[in-house]
Amino acid sequence: MTREWPVSSTEVIPSAPGSLPLVGHALALARDPLRFVLALAAVGPLVRFRLGTLPVVMVCEPDLTRQVLLDAHTFDRGGPLIDLGREIFGNGLLTCPASAHHRQRRLCQPSFHPRRLADYAPVFSAAAQRLTHSWHDGQVIDANSEMRQLTTQTAVETLLGSTAPPSETRAVLVGDLETISTGALRRMLCPRPLNALPIPFNRRFGLAHQRLRHALASTAASRRADGKRSNDLLDSLLTAVDTDTPGAGSVLDEHEVVDQALTFFAAGIESTANTLAWALVSTAASPDVATRLGTEADTLLGERAPTMALVPALTTAARVVAETLRLHPPLTMANRVVMHATELGGHHFAPGTTIAWSPYLIHHHPGLYPHPDRFDPDRWQDTTPDRRTYLPFGAGPHRCIGDHFALTQATLTVASIAAHWTLTPVTDQVPRPTAGLVPRPHPARLRVTARR
């Protein structure tokens, strides 16, 4: 049975066209999530659509989006994307409700303290150097594969340090993460009863999830048992203490440690690899930008590896990363749920209403960004991103805790590659985003030419 809209208002919110019986707009969203989301902006500031029988209201204006993101107690985490996230990541920072978020964020914050970032930066730089030194002149690379390999190395080393699993086990875990990532949209759009059927896809998804959690739980248990300290994210999670919370809640329990570790592991690989892949294919198609990146690297780096101290001076690389995140934010859309009766955009919403927001939609609004589909790092030359209209890491109390972590790694990697290689597309085909919650560039084959 189709559920009724939990919305009461003197004005009717317009509906997205193309709804089908039973599935609503799920097929359109599955075929081309980005096109579907962008089309909603033309309908109105608030637009109704359906995921199967679930009614959803998409917020299409930046001020309304910011209202939703800043008021986490009225618009709490919930909806199909969050339900899927909890299925995969548990109740960690990515998925927990507002009632648990403040405590969890205090316990996780030391893992991303600036002094920790200074420790991680050499890991980022060394991994980028190893990767670029493994290429040879004229080689054709796949940007998705190469950047995933890079971020896997750094995620494992920064999260697990000396207790990282052997390369064979690591390859299995990364394959499991790929299974989860590529299957996430399908599971979100499928009715829950279908996700419980013992079909091959569901079995693969479930096995991948079990292996990932088991591997991280075993590593955390061993580390806690031997009591040895290490300068990595896992150690920070195991030893964090929240002095504002009495009793057992002052530390993360064993399940919470695994939830947070799995969240950081997945984000550190998937989101950063995707950003870097898009940065490489976009720069390869923009010779002028590539030239300026190379000049900046020659001036600041020479033959040296980039360091944390040089990050503020790598302005061209930083603009490339900022523009990449505008064009291709880590997520297409996310959900919130109305917790108590409220008003948004002149409409009254009842508790239980599912709200969607999209950084992709806001970032491609022609009234906010001239030529929004153009890769133009120079748009950031004399300005900094506006927090109201630039949302790759979200906003408000739930803003991504690892934003500086991701920006630092992306900037150092882009500069490292530019110092040694010129990248050019193999074909004239313009890369298009794949269908998925984290759309990747396709094709992403690039030829590397030595600069020295």
Domains of the chain: 1-86+334-359 (3.30.43.20), 91-331+392-450 (1.10.630.10)
Q: What is the mean pLDDT of residues 343-348?
A: 93
Q: Examine the pLDDT at 8 and tell me if it is beyond 70.
A: no
DSSP string, 284-304: HT-HHHHHHHHHHHHHHTTTS
| Comparison of pLDDT for 415 and 164, the residue scoring more | 415
pLDDT at 10: 35
Least confident of 5-19, 308-322, 363-377: 5-19
Structural tokens at position 350 = 């009842």
Over its C-alpha atoms, the chain yields an Rg (Å, rounded) of 22
CA angle 350, 351, 354 (to 5 degrees): 95
Q: Examine the pLDDT at 245 and tell me if it is beyond 80.
A: no
Least confident of 22-31, 237-246, 365-374: 237-246
| Tokens 């009461």 found at | 8
Residue 306 CB contacts under 8 Å (≥ 6 apart), including other chains: 125, 128, 300, 314, 412, 415, 416, 419
Structural tokens at position 177 = 């993460």
Structural tokens at position 128 = 């980028």
Report the amino acid identity of residue 9: S
Q: What is the mean pLDDT of residues 297-312?
A: 89
Q: What is the mean pLDDT of residues 68-91?
A: 89
305-320: buried (b, 16+ CB within 10 Å) or exposed (e) per residue? bbebebbeebbbbbbb
Strands 54-59 and 354-357, sheet pairing: parallel
pLDDT at 9: 56
Structural tokens at position 365 = 């609004």
Least confident of 5-19, 20-34, 56-70, 196-210: 5-19
